[in-house]
Structures are given as structure tokens and as C-alpha cells.
């Protein structure tokens, strides 16, 4: 998988080698490794000459940054320097795959899909909703704005908006199709029609909701697998609902 997808948005969780410091693994016996596919990040790694252990550039549990301005806005003077490599190409975080159990298990979906992984491995993936291996981005509530995120369907969205307005809430509607009947006091948080564009825009729209001081974001959940599955995972966590069944799981 490393040969197939690196550099790229794939994080592999492996058993730590003897020389890996506790400061890198948080005291765990596993380590998460990734090789980013961005010329600026690769140049930094090349100049440094070794691996870098670092947290994400956002407060724990909060919306991920997709522009350098988001990092400065959230972290302020807590960081001395921000390297601006332009907007994130994909927009959501990497696919995380646990390789410690004898077979691959997707812990966090991303742009590299289960179909991609299956084709690269030529073998079935181990399935599971609750990961046995701790990993980033797996909190019940994660990637969350200050506003409450309410998941909805295209058919239900206008009803949910009306119900929130009736309670006196400041409401935004997140989706790809703006209803003609959307009230003027409801903020439209529009996403592109294609799923790749939605992934690029999602976190900016959640940040927009906070800039508008919204109480509730009614989010129309995208259908489909692949990248749409990863988007549903992020919205599920933004709504504080935790893990989502993997593709193909029925309950």
C-alpha cells in the first residue's frame, strides 16, 4: 500500500519499532505514518532529513484547517510560523488503515477508498465499526463547529430548518441544492455538486457557520460510497454521533 499510495492521503498504523520514542506514539505500541503529497511538505521533509512528529494544525476536536488563514485564526501566536501551501487539494483528512491485526482495517475513510485499498491489496479488508487500535480523528464528537450540526436528508431538510426556526434558532442549511422556499433569514451554506468539490469546501462552510454565529447547521448528508462515505463520516462526527458503519454494513 505504501508503494501504491505514497506520497498521498493514506495513514498506516503499524507496530512501533524499538527506537521509536514515547513522545511520538503517546506511549502506545503503535505508530501512525504518512507521506504527504504536497511539494512544500515534501521539501520540508527533505531539508529536515528525517521524519517529523507533529499534531494537526487545529484545536483538539475542532474543525480542520484547509487554508493557512484557518491555522492562524485558530492558533494565533501559539505558533511562530505558518507555511502557506495554498488551499488543501482534497479537503478532508487522510484514510487511516490499521495494519497491526494481520489484515488491513479502515479506521477512518478518506479519498483513498475501500475499493482502492482492496484493489491494491488483492485481498479482503478486515471490517469493524469500533477500532481496536487508538488513532486520530475517532472521537464521538470531532471536526465540530460551535453550532450544533443536525443531519438531514434532501426530503427532510426544509422541515428541519422550519423546526429550528420555530424554536428561535439562527439556522444555516448545508447542501448542494438551495430550496426555492428557503426563508431569507436562513443562511445558505452551499456546496458544489461534485463530491470532490464538497470535500474541499466542507470545513470552510462549517467555519462560515461559526463566523455567522449560527446556532444550528442542518446538513444534507451526501449519498453514495467512496469519498461520499468519507464525507458522511466527517458530518457524523461533527454532529457528535460518533462512528458510522463501514460501507456494506447493515444494522
As a whole number of angstroms, the distance between CA 163 and CA 115 comes to: 39
Opening angle at CA 96, ends 91 and 200, nearest 5 = 10
The pTM score is 0.87
Condensed to tens digits (0 to 9), the pLDDT of residues 108-159 reads 999 999 999 999 988 878 765 555 555 554 554 567 899 999 999 999 999 9
Give the HSE-up count for residue 150: Cα atoms under 13 Å, Cβ half-sphere. Answer: 21
Rounded Cα gap, residues 193 and 170, in angstroms: 25
Query: How many DSSP H helices and E strands does the chain contain?
Result: 8, 8
More confidently predicted of 243 and 79: 79
C-alpha cell at position 108: 477512518
Check pLDDT > 90 for residue 94: yes
Where are any strands of DSSP class E within 80-179?
95-98, 105-108, 148-152, 171-175
157 and 97: one domain? no
Check residue 251 and give its pLDDT. Answer: 27
Are residues 109 and 8 part of one domain?
A: yes
> Is residue 249, in this structure, part of any structural domain at all?
no
If asked whether residues 16 and 97 sit together in one domain, one would say yes
Task: Verify that 117 and 152 share a domain, yes or no.
Answer: no
Tens digits of residue pLDDT in 170-209: 999 999 999 998 999 999 999 999 999 999 999 999 999 9
pLDDT one-digit tens code per residue, 24-43: 998 899 999 999 999 999 99
- 99 and 182 in a common domain: no
Q: How far apart are alpha carbons 59 and 63 in whole angstroms? A: 8
User: Does 72 map to a domain?
Assistant: yes
Q: What is the pLDDT of residue 214?
A: 97
User: Are 87 and 177 in the same domain?
Assistant: no
Nearest CA among 36, 199, 7 for reference residue 110: 199
Domain that holds residue 91: 2-121
The one-character DSSP state at 223 is P
Amino acid at each position: 500500500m505504501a508503494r501504491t499510495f505514497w506520497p498521498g492521503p493514506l495513514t498506516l498504523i503499524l507496530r512501533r519499532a524499538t527506537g521509536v520514542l514515547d513522545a511520538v506514539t503517546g506511549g502506545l505500541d503503535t505508530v501512525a505514518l504518512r507521506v504527504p503529497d504536497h511539494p512544500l511538505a515534501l521539501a520540508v521533509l527533505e531539508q529536515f532529513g528525517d521524519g517529523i512528529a507533529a499534531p494537526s494544525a487545529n484545536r483538539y476536536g475542532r474543525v480542520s484547517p484547509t487554508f493557512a488563514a484557518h491555522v492562524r485564526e485558530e492558533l494565533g501566536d501559539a505558533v511562530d510560523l505558518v507555511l502557506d501551501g495554498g488551499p488543501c487539494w482534497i479537503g478532508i483528512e487522510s484514510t487511516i488503515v490499521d495494519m497491526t491485526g494481520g489484515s488491513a482495517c479502515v479506521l477512518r475513510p478518506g479519498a483513498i477508498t475501500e475499493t482502492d485499498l482492496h484493489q491494491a491489496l488483492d485481498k479482503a479488508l478486515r471490517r469493524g465499526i469500533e477500532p481496536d487500535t487508538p488513532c486520530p480523528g475517532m472521537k464521538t464528537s470531532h471536526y465540530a463547529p460551535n453550532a450544533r450540526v443536525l443531519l438531514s436528508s434532501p426530503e427532510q431538510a426544509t422541515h428541519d430548518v422550519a423546526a429550528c426556526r420555530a424554536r428561535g434558532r439562527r439556522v444555516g442549511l448545508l447542501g448542494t441544492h438551495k430550496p426555492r422556499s428557503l426563508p431569507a433569514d436562513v443562511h445558505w451554506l452551499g456546496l458544489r455538486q461534485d463530491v470532490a468539490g464538497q470535500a474541499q469546501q466542507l470545513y470552510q462552510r462549517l467555519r462560515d457557520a461559526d463566523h455567522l454565529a449560527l446556532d444550528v447547521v442542518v446538513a444534507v448528508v451526501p449519498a453514495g460510497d467512496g469519498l461520499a462515505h468519507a464525507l458522511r463520516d466527517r458530518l457524523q462526527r461533527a454532529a457528535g454521533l460518533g462512528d458510522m458503519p463501514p460501507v456494506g454494513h447493515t444494522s
